[in-house]
Structure 1
Amino acid sequence: MPLGVRIFLVYFLFVGLAGWFVLSTVMEEIRPGVRQSTEETLVDTANLLAEILRDEVKAGRLAQSRLPALLEAYGRRRPEAQIWGVEKTRVNHRIYVTDAAGIVLLDSSGDALGQDYSRWNDVFLTLRGQYGARSSREDPNDPDSSVMYVAAPIKDGERIIGVVSVAKPNRSLQPYIERSQRRLGWLGGGLIGLGLLLGALLSWWLSGSLRRLTHFAQAVSAGQRAELPRLQGGELRQLAEALERMRSALEGKAYVERYVHTLTHELKSPLAAIRGAAELLADDMTAEQRRRFVGNIDQEAGRMQQLIERLLQLAQVEQRQGLEEQVRVPLRTGFEALLEQQAVRIERGGLRIDNRMPAELAVRGEHFLLRQALANLLDNALDFTPPGGLIRCSAEVRDGWVELRLFNQAEAIPDYALGRLSERFYSLPRPGGGRKSSGLGLNFVTEVAQLHGGALRIGNVEGGVEALLRLPEA
């Protein structure tokens, strides 16, 4: 399972469970919270009524007062009130008054007049000087039919002469409870969803950063050229920089070991030839033989110098992770300059040059490296073109890339060698003397092309060989 998925699952479980626990706890607290708030309001109402009814109860004329008619009129009122989106169309309070013995003197509903309510907790506790309240079901089989009763004492001085109770059905509170739960549910669900979205984005960012670091490490381990990913964040950036330092250290060590081994191997042959010629020169020989052996020493020394110079050039390119500059490099003028440098060699071989590159065409990259790459391609073409042969250079733009084609008349490249032409130190015998080059020129061109994001391809075409160099258009 990918790391990002695991991180998200852990985050999902944590946020989801925590959010569900908090939301369910708050949802469960809404109902008792609303009822507690309502009870507090009933306490105030009951105490206000106790003060209003005191004189009437003390005088014993409660039934003959205007209060029964007022309570009846109160029960018929239609408030038509909009309370937070809930419409209230009727009043819900029930009010009854008992004397000091618990006998009902007044009931707004008219149902309990004259009944003994002294055993109900609201009346029973209040008559004993305690806080009296109860919750009773109107229908024993219906839990939603419960009604809250809150009582307050009617006093004559310190003596309790009666009790007034105010009741409110819990059913009347249910719309507000449901509305609060519904709004809280949507809000809580939205916050949990937002938290999960942020967790998903965090997991995606973290896994993406780690994936880029993994690809960088895999490319380095495979010996490929890779650019250090640019990461944000302290620890990830430090990890990337540590990987880059480790890569540089390991590559540098391996690179030196590989090139020392390669250089030693490649220098063995010319050194053996020089040593053999030097030993023979110590013997008596004719002047002609001496000139021939001295020429062999000079030739092999030149071969060694060329090998070392090519290795140094290749080493500089292979160690690069990016371009030092990206400028506009005209192709035609650069190729014409190279042809002038090789004018003597071209004239001596009687070669025909056909330069078809458009004058305005240019590529984008590092000028020195591109010039060296073109020089190596031209040098390779000159080596294999027979006397009087044709070298033709052309270029065209395709999808933002310049495709430079360098054709030279030559024998077809053997099939076994086609896939190895860009390998380091691999070389085919030159026409004529069978001499081989250092085998580093085409490898250098390949490295330069890859450094620019392009590629080099060499193959047989009708009448000769063609090298296709692909580079970004300026």
Structure 2
Amino acid sequence: MTAPRRGRVWRSLTLRLGLIYVALFLTSIAVLFGAVYWVGIYRPFLQEARKVRIEAGDFAAIDRGGGRDALVRALILRRDTGPRRALDALIDADGKTVMANLPSWPREEIGDWALLDADLSVHGQEEDYTALAVEKRLDDGARLIIGRDVEDIDDRDELFSLGSAWLIVLAALLAIGGSLAMSAAVGRRIDMVTRTARRVMAGSLTERIPLRGTGDDFDELSETLNLMLGRIEESVESVRRVSDNVAHELRTPLARLHADLDELRMANSDDERQRLAGQALTEAGRLQAIFDALLRIARIESGRHLAGVKPVDLTTLLTDAVEFHLPDAEERGQRIESNIAPGLAMAADRNLLFQAVSNLLDNASKYGAAGGTIRVRAEKRDGMVRIEIGDTGPGIAPEYRERVKERFFRVPDTAAQPGTGLGLALVAAIVALHKGRMEIDDAGPGTKVVLTF
């Protein structure tokens, strides 16, 4: 198990990102050190080199104009001038030293400029000097080396080189260690997500990702994934309940259909056959209605039923729905009171929206009190369209108000009423498709369903 684990570590995205971070970090340090070196060391060297180069040109001009003796006198006088100690050497064309306070110099000609060790003995004490030297060839081939002491800059250079080397090594070790620690910490959090996901895939839908309580990005991601797993668990449980309910709801009409057909096969009279055939057709129609409703809900929830969102005159739609259900309500001795604001409109699938309102009116009439009142109210409030449909029936207990939106769920007190238990599930699917909200509340007495879009 060790080798695969090691291989996975090296394939880890967090480790690769950490190493990239190390590379960027070290590159930024190198750039910073380079800038410091330029400003604090190399640029001062260049400035001194420019000054010394000017001096060398001046002394070459003295040699051309006044001769060698004048040059020697000028060099002697120079040794007592300037903020930095003057160092020089004059070597004739034969290689013989004419004068010098530099202890040594290169045999080859100095190119642009060079740093020369120039330790001198002063009053028996050796003093350290570093000469920034420039060489000038005189007309007769003599070598004129002009320099100034830059020991302070050279010391700074040595200290910077040594210190920066150690700092870069230390920074690299810390960055690599931090990168590995970060990779391990992130890897552990990702492993928790992976292990939880694998357990969920194995069938344990109650698994959740542990939270650290730090409120960081991983905690936020884990919380979101836990919410998603909760929704998946609810969906799977809902599917299981729907499957059980489908089996339960279909068992009775199928049994009746089977019995009717069996009796039809044995019937002797035409009247008996007609009666049994009618009963069989009724049960087949009930089965067809259940399957149609289930299919329609599934298509709506998947978004495939949305024929096209268009501007809908909601005032007219609600008025038409009320008029459509008015005869059934009057047959039960019920009144429909409507208070629909004019000019209501929204973008929707008109047929689906009419179906939702029609289902709610049908429920209000079916489960409302005989001789009671059905109230329809619609208005625009705070930029939202609000549709309220209520009845004066026995109402729905609070513990059932969310469950009635599930497929096939029937409130126990109304189980004897005709119906499939799919009406409110269909309404909930249509409302969700239109990004709306459906709430079931107490109408005191009765039930009130509020749709908000």
Query: By how many angstroms is 1:270 displaced?
Result: 1.1
Deviations 1:353-411 (A, max 9, x none): 11101022223322222111111111111211233221111123343322211011211
1:363 to 337, 346, 362: 346
Selected match of 1:35 from 45, 53, 59:
45
Partner of 1:333: 316
Q: Which aligned pairs between 1:375-390 and structure 2 lie closer than 5 A?
A: 375-390=358-373
> Which residue number corresponds to residue 334 of structure 2?
351
Q: CA 1:348/1:92 → structure 2, altered by over 3 Å: closer, same or farther? A: same
Counterpart in the other structure of 2:170: none
Match of 1:405 among 381, 385, 388: 388
The code of the aligned residue for 1:438 comes to: T
What displacement does 1:439 show? 0.9
Residue 162 of structure 2 corresponds to which residue in structure 1? none
Question: Structure 2: how far apart are the matches of 1:441 and 1:325?
Answer: 23
What is the Cα deviation at residue 70 of structure 1?
A: 9.9
Instruction: Quote the offset at 1:467 in angstroms.
Output: 0.9
Q: What residue is the counterpart of 2:4 in the other structure?
A: none
- Give the aligned partner of residue 84 of structure 1: none
Is residue 120 of structure 1 aligned with residue 85 of structure 2? no
CA shift at 1:222, angstroms?
3.6
- CA 1:322–1:17: 2 relative to 1, 3 Å: farther
Q: Does 1:318 align with 2:301?
A: yes
1:102, distance to aligned residue in structure 2 (A): 4.8
Distance in structure 2 (CA, Å) of the matches to 1:119 and 1:170: 14
Q: Aligned ranges for residues 90-169 of structure 1 at < 5 Å?
A: 94=86, 102=97, 117=100, 120-122=103-105, 131=110, 134-136=116-118, 146-152=130-136, 156=140, 160=142, 164-169=144-149
TM-score, normalising length from structure 1? Answer: 0.60
Correspondences of 1:34-433 after superposition (within 5 Å): 35=45, 38-39=48-49, 42=52, 45-46=55-56, 49-50=59-60, 52-53=62-63, 56-58=66-68, 60=69, 94=86, 102=97, 117=100, 120-122=103-105, 131=110, 134-136=116-118, 146-152=130-136, 156=140, 160=142, 164-170=144-150, 219=228, 222-223=231-232, 265-281=248-264, 282-283=266-267, 293=276, 295-320=278-303, 325-428=308-411
Structure 2: distance between partners of 1:369 and 1:363: 13
Task: Give the equivalent residue in structure 2 for 1:463.
Answer: 445
Aligned CA distance change for structure 1 residues 142 and 318 (closer, same or farther; 3 Å): farther
Q: Distance in 2 between matches of 1:304 and 1:360?
A: 41
Cα deviation 1:336-368 (Å, max 9, x = unaligned): 212333343223222201110102222332222
Query: Quick one: structure 1 residues 371 and 102, their matched pair in 2 at CA, closer, same or farther if it must change by over 3 Å?
Result: same
Q: Distance in 2 between matches of 1:151 and 1:358?
A: 101
In structure 1, the residue matched to 2:26 is 17
| One-letter identity of the residue aligned with 1:391 | I
2:422 counterpart of 1:440: yes
- Structure-2 change in CA distance of 1:458 and 1:292 (3 Å): farther
Whole-angstrom CA distance in 2 between matches of 1:415 and 1:373 = 22
Identity of aligned residues (%): 22
Q: CA RMSD in A?
A: 5.0
For structure 2, the 5+ residue unaligned runs are 1-11, 158-215
Q: Computing the radius of gyration over CA atoms, which structure comes out larger, 1 or 2?
A: 1
Q: 2: distance between equivalents of 1:429 and 1:133?
A: 102
Change (3 A) 1:91 1:435: same
Q: Distance in 1 between matches of 2:313 and 2:257?
A: 43
Shift in CA distance, 225/330, structure 1 to aligned 2, threshold 3 Å: farther
Instruction: Output the TM-score relative to the length of structure 2.
Output: 0.63
SS of equivalent to 2:340: coil
**CA separation of 1:418/1:302 partners in 2, compared to 1, >3 Å: closer, same or farther?**
same
Displacement of 1:62 in angstroms is 6.0
> C-alpha separation between the residues in 2 aligned to 1:318 and 1:61?
106
3-state SS of 1:345 partner:
helix
For the residue of structure 2 that corresponds to 1:121, the secondary structure is coil
Shift of 1:141: 9.8
Structure 2: which amino acid aligns with 1:468? V
CA distance in 2, matches of 1:334, 1:400: 19
Residues in 2 aligned to 1:363 and 1:430: alpha-carbon distance in whole angstroms: 36
Match of 1:434, SS state, is coil
The 3-state SS of whatever aligns with 1:413 is coil
The number of equivalent residue pairs is 367
The SS at the match of 1:360 is coil
Deviates more, 1:146-155 or 1:274-283: 146-155
